Amino acid sequence: MRLKFGFLALFLLLASLPGSATDLGLYVERLNDPNVILCPYCGRPIVAGKIHENAEGLIATEMGGSLNEKGIAYTREKGQGKYLHVFIYRFQEREGGNFSVVRPASVGFHVHLYEGDKIVDTFVFDETQQPLSDNIFRFFTFLRRGAKWITAGDLAREGIHKAIDALGNDLEEEAPQAGR
């Protein structure tokens, strides 16, 4: 009886360790060839650009934080089951300050939700901040951003939160809840 109980306890302990096979995987990579015009994973068109040297780290950290906020356990590996693959093809910092820029921030990435080796869903974030005079319909976005020019990191955070919200139901269906 003690032996059975010991194996059960060991199994439960291993299953609850971070990075277990049941966690959602999170994998972030950057585009290496600036001449690519289609995403090599989902085939959607992309507009490649410069990618800041810290882009992968920032996006991985923000994505992980957003998953934690939703209570979704994850590991920083592809994993065997479901995983998020973030493909960054543009991450350009603004040139200028909060109230005047030469070039605005511009961020483009795809978030592919895989189940095994099959893409289940894709979220596309591709935005270059525009002056309010170019698009008056973005007035509330302008106010939400503090009526200023934001950084590429801020723009990426917006995209990450939108991605997690858009993919939320698919992520929460089978992914284990953090802290359980």
pLDDT band of 162, cuts 50, 70, 90: very high
Higher pLDDT, 17 or 137: 137
> pLDDT at position 4, please?
45
Work out the average pLDDT over 42-57.
Answer: 97
What pTM did the predictor assign? Answer: 0.79
- Cβ-contact 111, 84 below 8 angstroms: yes
Cα 173 to Cα 1: distance, rounded to the nearest angstrom: 36
Annotation: CATH topology of 25-174: Rossmann fold (3.40.50)
Higher pLDDT, 102 or 24: 24
Helix (H) or strand (E) holding 92: strand 82-92
Residues 93-137 have pLDDT tens digits of 987 766 666 688 999 999 999 998 899 999 999 999 876 556 666
Domain boundaries, the chain: 25-174
